[in-house]
A and B are shown apart, each in its own frame.
Chain A
Amino acid sequence: MYAYDEIDRTLVNERVSEFRDQVKRRLSGELTEDEFKILRLQNGVYLQLHAYMFRVAIPYGTLASNQLRALAHVARKYDRGYGHFTTRQNIQFNWIKLAELPDALEDLAKVGIHAMQTSGNNMRNVTSDQWAGVAPGEIEDPRIWSELIRQHTTLHPEFSFLPRKFKIAITASDHDRAAIKIHDIGLKLIKNEKGETGFEVLVGGGLGRTPFIGKTIKHFVHGRDILSYIEAILRVYNQYGRRDNIYKARIKILVHELGIEKFSREVEEEWQHIRNSSLQIDDEVIEDIRSRFSYPAYEKLPHMPDELRQAAADADFEAWRKNSVAPHKVQGYSIVTISLKPIGAPPGDATADQMDALADLADKYSFGEIRVGHEQNLALPHVAKRDLPALWKALDKLGLATPNVNLITDIIACPGLDYCSLANARSIPIAQELTRRFANHELANLIGRLHINISGCINACGHHHVGHIGILGVEKNGEEVYQITIGGRADEGAALGNLIGPGVKFDEVADVIEDVVEAYLALRERPDELFIDTVKRLGVEPFKERVYATR
């Protein structure tokens, strides 16, 4: 966990007071909506179909148990008893009242949570690997660098009025769980030949209307130079990024139009002006941030405790363990992913009661720490293996032990037309129906790793472009129509999916996905050839043929 200092606490509290005053002036009519809109957006407050939506940041996906309880409290007191975890390590509350928002923010500020820069054309929540600090083989904890960037970019005047929103993600593992290649800037922690810590820097990734996979702009930037290098990128973007057309305003368009070579030359030139300035980071700064992250006092525990050996006889426990439990860097411990994708439920939702109970379980079994992943699941990062059977039983009682992590029912979905004012079509009901179709765990296991991503409009909040199967809802002649892509992926091999054919109607989507899956099962060379690999080997044609031959 990261401990805020007095500066952090003061900043968050002052922000609450400032917003309270802005809300008061808005409700009295002193501020018009036009004047107020940018202020509310800078505090994570959107207007959606039914009400205001309040988006709260969970920097680099790390939550303390008292923070999760505070989120539960907000869900219960100010909303309708649940929250929705997003694809960018935020949580959204869908029914918040503007008049009560300052109180909600004040309650969150008490535990160091805020909503700054969760909206607007500024630097958004810096995201990272939800297994940061505990993943075996990691270069080092990427959250230290995430925190450095968070501090530098929060309320930074130069980054507060960018041409468009700007997102950074950081990973320190070879397997990318932070989707860095679909971010404006993606950072991969690496070591150079001298053993020094630095970053491979990618730029220009993003989805939405015009999707691009990020390109490497520099193979190694030393850690001490990372702020100046990021700043150089942002200065070039600020100077050349388009402000005349919202659809062409993201940095990905600039990188595409200039070309990565020209863009990188511009950045290099800018960087030479500022790299030896005060932006160069002293080791003490990094060490100070590192010292504010506390790590558990792990016990020396056996690799295979008796409790785990005994529980292995329970088939249900084993199904969950094999699916949801991952190796930890410390012997005797595990990382437990908690699926927020129960069969038939909206992906990523958690009730206030579940959040409170999870906070208790985190205290009991995970040194009081919870993580949030971009796949809209949670994780307990430090669970002793001996405690796994007891934790599983407790999670099962809460409806949080669905053994479907990374399987076909572990669906990423945006809120869609049920909530979102931008959406053209519903996403969540599609996800719900698909989880029912593939509810049988043996079937899901037989299919293996398969990610379905659903977006209710071209803005792609459900990351449909990079789903192994992507589903995009559009509107055609007043009807919801869904376009299906296959072959996308969001990891270190990030790729955009390819359309398999004409769009299909709402009621046909689940049938089409069943056809695609049946085609895969028939076409795969061996049981362990993943869906994504079969698509890569064969292309879309055999799937297209299967889906459209009878339609």
Chain B
Amino acid sequence: MTSPLEQKKIKIAGPSVVTANRTWDGIVVYRTAAKSWSADLSEAAIVRNSDEAKALLAESVADDVGAIGPYIAPVQVGADGKIEPGNLREQIRRTGVTIGQSAQV
């Protein structure tokens, strides 16, 4: 779970998405194939190699008003096409904190 803030080189080992936080309210969002942002991971554009990742990230960075701090995050894609976060950090960003009562909405 090396912090993506330390992400210097784009090197991906498997299916990945670009994720960020929406500018006006900060919620977690994912870059879609339609060049927009969605709070739903299932709508994220999947990239599978460094060139695709670079291109998606560049496009995401350019949309500075929409979302901030974009980075590439690993995902797992099931046989049924279902997308799941690829590490604990991204799992927590998707499903929320793991600490119980005080974190609930």
> Which residues of A pack against B, CB within 8 Å?
26-29, 32-33, 47, 49-52, 80, 82, 95-99, 344-346, 349, 351, 417-419, 421-426, 428-429, 432, 457, 475, 478, 480
Contacts and interface: CB of A to CB of B under 8 A. Distances in A.
Contacts of A32: 64
The winner among B2, B23, B99 for most chain A CB atoms within 10 A is: B99
A306 B93 CA distance: 54
Contacts of A96: 26
Given A33-B64, A47-B21, A422-B5, A346 B102 contact: yes
Nearest to A82: B102
A27 B24 contact: yes
Contact of B2 (A29, A99, A418, A424): A424
Given A349-B102, A475-B1, A47 B69 contact: yes
Contacts of A428: 97, 99
Contacts of A432: 99-100
B93 A51 contact: no
B69 A99 contact: no
Main SS of the interface on chain B?
Answer: loop
A419 B1 CA distance: 14
Given A51-B21, A51-B25, A80-B103, 15 more contacts: A27-B65, A29-B64, A29-B65, A33-B68, A33-B69, A49-B89, A52-B26, A82-B102, A98-B25, A98-B26, A344-B100, A417-B88, A424-B1, A425-B1, A478-B1
Nearest to A422: B3
Given A47-B69, A80-B105, A426 B98 contact: yes
A417 B102 contact: no
Interface residues of B, number: 31
A217 B68 CA distance: 43
B88 A480 contact: yes
B58 interface: no
Interface string B74-105: 00000000000001110011001111111111
A345 B104 CA distance: 13
Given A29-B64, A33-B68, A480-B1, A418 B26 contact: no
21 contacts: A27-B24, A29-B65, A33-B64, A33-B69, A47-B68, A47-B69, A49-B89, A50-B93, A51-B27, A52-B25, A52-B26, A80-B104, A96-B26, A345-B101, A346-B103, A417-B92, A421-B69, A423-B3, A425-B1, A429-B98, A478-B1
A418 B1 contact: no
B99 A27 contact: no
B99 A346 contact: yes
Contacts of A82: 102
A99 B25 CA distance: 6
Nearest to B20: A47
Interface in B2-20: 2-5
B53 interface: no
